[in-house]
Structure 1
Amino acid sequence: MNQLTDTGRRAPATAPPQVARLRRAISLFFALDGFVFAGWVVRIPAIKEQIHASAGALGLALLGVSVGSVATMLLTGKLCRRYGNHPVTVVTAALLSLSVALPPLTHSALHLGLVLLLFGAAYGGLNVAFNAAAVDLAEAVRRPILPSFHAAFSAGGLVGAGLGGLLAPQLSPLCHLLLLTATGLVVTAYAGRVLLRTPGPTATGQRPRRDGTDAVPGRGRAAVGRTRLFVTLYGLITLCRVVYLGYALTGLGLANVFPVAVGGAGALAGPHGVAVASTLGYSGILLGPPSIGFLAEAYGLPGALTTIAALAALAALLGRVVGRGRVGRRGRRRAPC
């Protein structure tokens, strides 16, 4: 329990050991996700040659990853509510590790697409489950730790891509992806044991109430700060005209927007909110490239990319409105009768 200091303010709570263990374990799952996915992407050219697929057939087969992810995310939200975020994280991580070894066993674009549906389902399910677990932990410690988990995902992706580039000339796709499977199962067994044995934030009683009535001083200002970050980054993206700087700002903006959006959705609606936010995000990944292609053909590439800037500005405006609404509602709840 927090104690009052001499100044009358409430001292920050000391994180119990299980919080640190959970944070490390969840970070490992984020890193594993990026590592496995990047390792698979490196071997796509070799798989294309193996199945003798045209560029169009390969594109349709690769669509299986996005379709499988989007189709599974809302279901995963329901499973998390029923069985808990931690068990679903462990199961989907094991499925992802096993399914990544299947593409080298296929011999046609159709078979590859079906296999990638399974891979995408495991990938999407894992993303919902570990994001929900991360949101719960962030609420328990009352600190903005979600970006650190997504940094672990990026680090895992960098390692997976770099290692894949080194191994590609030395190993066949099957041997390489089987190595990913073995690595994934080892990490899942180690981090999963921690996840399953360590009580979650709800069980330890540290999770704050979602109605905001237990708000502590400065918590509302932190929410406003995240919203300002969201607006500022998106504003920079829409105004920048220098190509390389624009790419850098786009990456910086997306890296911060997704954790903030998922965290807000999880705070409002738990695993279901995380599932909805993830589904919308991956639907954008699924629909974005063909939409930009059609727009570029009709209006040119600059005109097509302008729509992205316009949508980014709209998202920033909505974030501002939502942030003000949440702060206003907190103020009304705290006002004396």
Structure 2
Amino acid sequence: MPLLNKVTATAPGNKRGNPAAASLSRLRTALTVFFALDGFLFAGWVVRIPAIKEQTGASASDLGLALLGVSGGAVITMVLTGRLCRRFGSHPVTVACGVLLSLSIALPAQTHSTLALGLVLLVFGAAYGGINVAMNSAAVDLVAAMRRPVMPSFHAAFSFGGMTGAGLGGLVAAEVSATTHLLALTGIGLVVTAAAGPTLLRHRAPVPERTEAAARSGPLSGKTRKIVALFGVIALCTAYGEGALAEWGTLHLQQDLHAHPGIAAAGYSLFALAMAAGRLSGTTLLERLGQTRTLVAGGSLASAGMLLGALAPTTWLALSGFAVTGLGLANIFPVAVARAGALAGPSGVAAASTLGYGGMLVGPPAIGFLADWFSLPVALTTVALLAAAAALLGYSARNASSAPPA
């Protein structure tokens, strides 16, 4: 250690002659690459869902059941990832999950039945869940060591990766088969992992002083557990919307509003771009508005945007709603996860991430069932309801402070 002590002994901006600061900078770059890769690969999958749905002959409810494979694999892995990170370190787990995610993304295009699709999505979900918990754990430690509130920047990279992946998917959707496209993504993922992975493998995660103090102090108090759970539920409410738009937004535009496949794929790209823009301004918003106002304003804006996106009668109005929703949701998840990490260290990150990404992964199957019972536009209004709930919970958490925010 003590890496943190070395960093804080010198001015944060003085990287020359300060190997520890330079090491943190390299770690930040490598982690940013993995966040971007995660968003890129996930978006590459979601824009191909209409083609996979047609290939397997699945109904909306059948597709919802198949998507439970992503949810099941991710939730199981998220429960285990905290232990894996404690035993092997968050950096090696991130790299291993990056390889698995890259390999598994090619599998859905090889299926021709709902059952087979659900089974391969278990593997994809396991990789997706694992890399997200591992990356966020590593990022919270790095944010604490840098003593700068840069967590939104990592999630901005995820959004930019998603925007790029969706944009590429939109460009090739009408010309390239899903099989070829997803196989190409496997190659890209493996190359990027090989390029960025060694940096993480060469450097251990920095150990923040408060995490060491928490480890010495024993189990978390009941109050801290409740606060962490509260931020986990806030993350769940907003991640539900992100998952729903990722996996059903394209289909809504194409099926209900009869948008061209390229325009429909651009819907998620626009949503991801708006999220990225919001996250790039996240640090400034937190400094000027504070945590509570940022959460309340974001949830309220996302709720209004999703009502427009779900119920608008034209493609362009729906796209506008998607963009507003992205701006609103942008900083809620990273703030909630960082806050949980500041309160409880890696255990808090694991708990909040599991709840949060559980919402992202359970949301799409729930939308599928609701779409069969009612309609897809009506089902998507549940995103607005949960965003409003996140705003209310964010307000209720205004006095929840047993540790300073990350």
**TM > 0.5:** yes
Judge conservation of contact 2:342–2:403 (CA < 8 Å) in 1.
Answer: no
Deviations along 1:207-230, one digit per CA (max 9) or x if unpaired, are 232469xxxxxxxx9699334422
What are the Cα deviations for residues 166-193 of structure 1, in whole angstroms up to 9, with x where unaligned?
Answer: 2233322222111101110011111101
2:142 corresponds to: 137
Distance in 2 between residues matched to 1:91 and 1:241, nearest whole Å:
36
User: Take 1:288 and 1:236, find their aligned partners in 2: how far apart are those partners?
Assistant: 20
Deviation for aligned residue 1:271: 2.8
Instruction: List alignment gaps of at least 5 residues for structure 2.
Output: 1-5, 16-20, 215-285, 309-316
Q: Once structures 1 and 2 are overlaid, which stretch shifts more, 98-107 or 260-269?
A: 260-269
Give TM-score, length-normalised by structure 1.
Answer: 0.79
**Match for residue 225 of structure 1 among 290, 293, 301:** 290
Counterpart residue type for residue 55 of structure 1: A
Q: Secondary structure of the residue that 2:204 maps to in structure 1?
A: coil
SS of 2:106's equivalent in the other structure is coil
- 1:257 corresponding residue in structure 2: 332
Structure 1 gaps, min length 5: 5-9, 213-220, 328-337
State the partner residue of 2:160.
Answer: 155
- Whole-Å Cα distance in 2 between the matches of residues 167 and 305 of structure 1? 29
Q: What SS class does the counterpart of residue 320 from structure 1 fall into?
A: coil
Q: Which of 166, 169, 175 does residue 164 from structure 1 map onto?
A: 169
1:122 equivalenced with 2:127 (yes/no): yes
Residue 46 of structure 1 and its aligned partner are, at CA, apart by 2.0
**Judging changes above 3 Å, is the alpha-carbon distance between structure 1 residues 14 and 260 closer, same or farther for their aligned structure 2 residues?**
farther
SS at match of 1:101: coil
1:239-258 counterparts in 2 under 5 A?
Answer: 243=308, 248-258=323-333
1:97 to 88, 91, 102: 102
CA RMSD in angstroms comes to: 3.3
Corresponding residue of 2:210: 209
Q: Which secondary structure state, in structure 1, belongs to the residue aligned with residue 398 of structure 2?
A: helix
Q: 1:169 to 1:73 in 2, by over 3 A?
A: same
Show CA shifts across 1:83-120 (max 9, x none).
11000000001000000111122221101100001101
Contact residue 78 and residue 271 of structure 1 kept, 8 A: no
Aligned to 2:347, which of 255, 261, 272? 272
Query: Residue 63 and residue 320 in structure 1: after superposition, are their counterparts in 2 closer, same or farther (change >3 A)?
Result: same
Distance 2:70 2:126 in 1: 7
CA deviations on 1:109-159 (whole Å, 9 max, x unpaired) are: 101100001101100110000111111110010111111111111111111
> Percent identity among equivalent residues?
58
| TM-aligned CA distance change 1:162 to 1:222, over 3 Å | closer
By how many angstroms is 1:161 displaced?
Answer: 0.9
Cα 1:166–1:237, aligned 2, differ >3 Å: closer, same or farther? closer
197, 201, 207: which one pairs with 2:202?
197
Q: Report the Cα offset of residue 312 of structure 1.
A: 2.6
Given residue 319 of structure 1, which amino acid in structure 2 is its aligned partner? Answer: A
Q: CA deviation at 1:40?
A: 1.1
Check 1:250–1:283 CA distance in 2 against 1; reply closer, same or farther (3 A cut).
Answer: same
Task: Report the alpha carbon displacement of residue 252 of structure 1 after superposing the two structures with TM.
Answer: 2.4
Q: Could you tell me which amino acid in structure 2 is paired with residue 266 of structure 1? A: G
Larger radius of gyration: 1
After superposition, the Cα gap between the structure-2 partners of 1:12 and 1:311, relative to the gap in structure 1 and judged at 3 Å, is same
The 3 A distance-change label for structure 1 pair 67 and 223 is farther
Query: How has the CA–CA distance of structure 1 residues 97 and 288 changed in structure 2, closer, same or farther, with 3 Å as cutoff?
Result: closer
Q: Tell me if 1:46 matches 2:51.
A: yes
In the aligned structure 1, how far is the partner of 2:52 from the partner of 2:323? 31
The 1:223/1:119 distance shift into structure 2, 3 A limit, reads farther
Match of 1:58 among 60, 63, 72: 63
In structure 2, the CA distance between the partners of 1:139 and 1:301, relative to structure 1 (3 Å rule), is same
Are the structure 2 counterparts of residues 310 and 147 from structure 1 closer, same or farther at C-alpha, using a change threshold of 3 Å?
Answer: closer
Which residue identity lines up with residue 208 of structure 1 in the other structure? E
Aligned letter for 2:298?
L
Amino acid at match of 1:33: D
Letter in structure 2 aligned against 1:82: R
Pair 1:163–1:222, CA change in 2 (3 A) = closer
